[in-house]
Amino acid sequence: MSDIRFNILAVDDDPGLQNLYKDILESVPASLGLHPGAGRPGCRDVPYFRVACCSQAQETVAAVQESVAQRDPFAAIFLDVNLPPGPSGIWAAEQILQVDPAANIVLVTGYIGSELGNLPRQLSFSDRLMFLQKPFHPQEIVQFATALSAKWRAEQQVRSLNADLEGLVHQRTAELQRSNEMLRREVDRRRRVQQELQHSLDHLKKIIGGTVMAIAMTVEKRDPYTSGHQQRVAELSRAIGKEMGLADDQVEGLAIASAIHDIGKISLPAEILSKPSQLNSMEMSLIQTHSQAGYDILKNVDFPWPVANIVLQHHERMDGTGYPHHLAGDAILREARIVGVADVVETMSSHRPYRPSRGLDSALDEISAQSGILYDRDAVDACLALMHERRFEFTAPVFA
For every residue of 120-172, DSSP letters joined together read -GGGSSBTTEEEEESS--HHHHHHHHHHHHHHHHHHHHHHHHHHHHHHHHHHH
- Residue 329 φ/ψ region, left for φ over 0, alpha for ψ in the -120 to 50 degree band, beta for the rest: left
Low-confidence ranges of the chain (pLDDT < 50): 1-2, 31-40, 43-46, 125, 396-400
DSSP result, 35-102? STTTT-TT---EEEEEEEEESSHHHHHHHHHHHHHTT---SEEEEES--TTS--HHHHHHHHHHH-TT
CATH superfamily of the 3-144 domain: Response regulator (3.40.50.2300)
User: Which amino acid is present at 156?
Assistant: Q
Task: Report DSSP state, residue 193.
Answer: H
Domain coordinates of the chain in residue numbers? 3-144, 225-388
In 5-46, which ranges are continuous DSSP H helix?
A: 15-26
Question: How many other CB atoms are found less than 10 A from the CB of residue 274?
Answer: 15
Q: What are phi and psi of 107, to 5 degrees?
A: -80, 125
Instruction: Name, in order, each residue with C-beta under 8 angstroms of 198's C-beta and a sequence gap of 6 or more.
Output: none
Strand order across the beta sheet in which 105-109 lies: 46-54, 3-11, 76-80, 105-109, 129-133
Start-to-end CA distance of the chain, whole Å, equals 30
pTM flag (> 0.85): no
Q: Are 123 and 93 in contact (CB under 8 A)?
A: yes
Q: Are 52 and 72 in contact (CB under 8 A)?
A: no
User: Which amino acid is present at 395?
Assistant: T
Distance CA 277, CA 5 (A): 44
pLDDT at 399: 38
- pLDDT digits over 149-196, tens only? 988 998 888 878 877 777 676 676 666 656 667 667 778 888 888 888
Query: Sign of torsion, CA 57 62 66 69?
Result: positive
User: Which amino acid is present at 71?
Assistant: R
Distance CA 182, CA 190 (A): 12
pLDDT at 4: 73
pLDDT at 368: 95
pLDDT at 31: 43
Q: Which fold has domain 225-388?
A: Hypothetical protein af1432 (1.10.3210)
pLDDT at 236: 95
- pLDDT digits over 194-224, tens only? 888 777 766 765 765 576 566 667 666 666 6
